[in-house]
Every structure is written in structure tokens, then in C-alpha cells.
Chain A
Amino acid sequence: MSRPPGRKQEYHKISRELFVLTYGALVAQLCKDYEKDEDVNTCLDRMGYGIGVRLIDDFLARSSVKKCRSYSETADVIAQVAFKMYLGVTPSVSCSSAAGNEFSLILDKNPLVDFVEELPAERASLCYCNLLCGVIRGALEMVHLAAEVTFLQDRLKGDAVTEIGITFLRKAEDRKHKRN
């Protein structure tokens, strides 16, 4: 999958179906491995975190966005640039708190659930796309923004839309060598 060096940036496309199937296989295997939904969710979140801490540099290298000066700018960049770049969809952003640190991304199209209608009865509290939450959390942490990311609504569970909530926590402690 590596880019041939020296040539202008090209995205080497692979099949979307393969990606969606791979994700589905991952979740299915986790469901076999763990009985409780919470364990599967935690596992997905942790995996996503591992992806996020690496993906952020790829995102910054390719998109050359400038440093965000506010939480709302950050949420906009996540929705309009990052989601577009990696999943091809653009969720809409809304701020859901007066303090200005809680945002929700509303996805009307989620490629990961292309082939899933609804969750099986025994997996009612499974967050199928929890990997995405981990990715966002990991990526934000690497740019020194601590956040909690969860699914607020999920179409697979019968809600009207899929909504990801990002709550920015107090900014990560500035260490001795303050980085600006």
C-alpha cells in the first residue's frame, strides 16, 4: 500500500467493500472473544486509540491545516477535513453546551455500517463503530487536547441519526518545555 517515492502524492485506492468487510470481521471476532458488550466496546476504543495516535501525523502531513485556535475550530476540522479525507463523508457539527466544549458530529452516512441493518438482540449495547471514537480520542490527545468521545445516538440501535459526541476536557497540562 506504500506510495511510490518521488512521485506526486497519489492515493492508492483499495476496495471499500474490503475495508468494510475487514471492519465487520474485526467486530465479529471481538464479539466471539468477549461475552460482554462493554468489553467489546472498550477493546474497539483501545484499538481506535492506537490508530488515532498514528493517524494524526498522517492527517497533519497531508492536509496542512494550521493549528486550531478554538474547540469549535477543532470540531469543524475533524468533521470537514478529517472525516472527508478518510471516510469520504462530512458529518455536520453542532455545539451542544454553553461552555463551548461539547460538540456533536451527526453522520447521516456511515460507510462502516453499509452492510449492517441492526444489532442482534443479544448485542444490544454494542457500539459497532466505537473504533472511530478511539481514533478521534487518540488523535486529539497527540495534539494536546484531552477529550471524551462517545456515541450519543446510533442508527443501529434504532435512533434517528448517528451522533458522535466530543467533550473537550481541560487542556492537557503544559509541561516544562512549553510547546506553542
Chain B
Amino acid sequence: MAIFSVYVVNKAGGLIYQLDHYAPRADTEKTFSFPLDLVLRPHDERVVVAFGQRDGIRVGHAVLAINGAEVNGRFTADGKDVLEFLNNPANYPVSIRFGRHRLSSNEKLMLASMFHSLFAIGSQLSPEVGSSGIEMLETDTFKLHCFQTLTGIKFVVLADPRQAGIDSLLRKIYEIYSDFALKNPFYSLEMPIRCELFDQNLKLALEVAEKAGPFGPGS
């Protein structure tokens, strides 16, 4: 049972807080000889595995490091294009580390504002007047729960689909926000939350919710 991440979005759709809570992903580092039996292709700003899944290296994993040096998007640490580098037999044998790419903070900001817009669209699409926005988004690997307060702040939690008690967790996060963020006189409203106490108490609440397991707290 796991809670993967928490996002807090302000009234204007800007991300003011984000926490990733999932276990460290497993990176796979292997040495390869020419020719590479994986099919790589560029995707956005990274090089990802398109085909040839094996040994823990899965489709969708990105190239994280070559020969120990972290890659910078599509380029190696010394500025060479990754795909060109790997097409050149002279560079082999080479050790490449693959893993799931973590979202950068810019990407998270973008996704949060996109979700904010979708949330509003959700409430407008409703056949009933005065409907709420998106409350839950379900996929096969996670469930996204969203709670919007009457003041317009949204709390978004991504969790395992079997995890229960997220509703009460969202209310609890609202309480923690109203305590440790709002009551902090040095915190300005709508700005990114940089309060140590908020972090600590949030992590504690997540752990309590996770321990409670699939039946929610109080079971």
C-alpha cells in the first residue's frame, strides 16, 4: 500500500507544494557491447527505450547515465548527443544506466496547472448545475484523488488503487495546511509552501494513512 505523491495547487492553478513519497525507483545499470540490442528513441528531452525490454530495463525507461556520468537530457555529460554516441562502435563497451525518469519541477508545475484547468472543465461538463470538479482519476497503476476547498485550494493525492482512507487523508492534509502553513505569519498566501513543520506533519500523516492499509484508518 503506498501513497505516491501529494500536490497542493493554489486558486490560480499554480503548484505551491509537492511531495514525492514513493520508494526509490530501481535503476538498472548494465554494460553493453556494440550493437545495442535495445531500441532507443528520443522523447521530449530524453532518450527512452522504445523496444527490447529485458533484465529490468523496461520500455519507457530513460537513459540516466552513461559510463557513470549523468546525461543531460539528450546529451552526455560532455555535450555529445546520446544517440550518436551510442551509434558509434568506437565508444563500446559502454555502461548505461536506465531507469524511470522522475518529473522535473517545471514539468510538475505544468501538469498541476493542466490539472487545474481540467478540474474546471470537469465541473462545467456536468449535466447537473453546481457539480464539483474532478474528484478521482483512476488508472491501472494509481488513483488520483482531488479535494477542493471552498477557498479554492486543491489537494491532490496520488496513491495505490487499493489504498483506502484517502478522503480522510485529504481532510487531514487540509487541517495540516491550515495549521502549519496558514498560521505561520511568515507564509504569504498562494505562495510556495516552505514550512518545515508542514513537511514533517504531512509525512507523518502519510505514514499513518499507509500503515492503516487497504481498510483505512480506524479499522
Listed in ascending order, the chain A residues whose CB lies under 8 Å from chain B are 2-3, 5-6, 9, 53-54, 56-58, 60-62, 64, 67, 142-144, 177-180
Contacts and interface: CB of A to CB of B under 8 A. Distances in A.
B163 to A, nearest CB: 18
Contacts of B178: 54, 57-58, 60-62
Nearest to A66: B150
B10 to A, nearest CB: 12
A2 B180 contact: yes
Contacts, number: 68
A74 to B, nearest CB: 11
Question: A interface, by DSSP: helix, strand, loop or mixed?
Answer: loop
A145 B153 CA distance: 16
Contacts of B11: 179
B164 interface: no
A5 B149 contact: no
A126 B130 CA distance: 43
A56 B152 CA distance: 12
B179 A2 contact: yes
Contacts of B204: 5-6
A5 B173 CA distance: 11
B117 interface: yes
A175 to B, nearest CB: 9
Q: Give chain B's interface residue range (CB within 8 Å of chain A).
A: 20 to 34
Interface of B: 11, 13, 116-117, 120, 123-124, 130-133, 148-153, 171, 174-180, 182-183, 189, 197, 200-201, 204-205, 208
Contacts of B183: 54, 58
A2 B181 CA distance: 12
Contact of A54 (B120, B150, B182): B182
Contacts of A142: 151-152
B131 A58 contact: no
B116 A57 contact: no
A61 B148 contact: no
Contact of B189 (A54, A60, A67, A143): A54
B131 A60 contact: no
Given A2-B179, A61-B174, A143-B151, 13 more contacts: A5-B176, A5-B204, A6-B204, A57-B149, A58-B182, A58-B183, A62-B175, A64-B171, A142-B152, A143-B150, A177-B13, A177-B116, A177-B120
A180 B153 contact: no
A180 B128 CA distance: 11
Contact of B117 (A5, A58, A177): A177
Contacts of A143: 150-151
Nearest to B200: A5
A3 B120 contact: no
Contacts of B153: 57
B186 to A, nearest CB: 12
B149 A178 contact: no
A119 B103 CA distance: 61
Nearest to A56: B151
Contacts of A144: 152
A178 B120 contact: yes
Nearest to B13: A177
Contacts of A9: 175
B13 A57 contact: no
A19 to B, nearest CB: 15
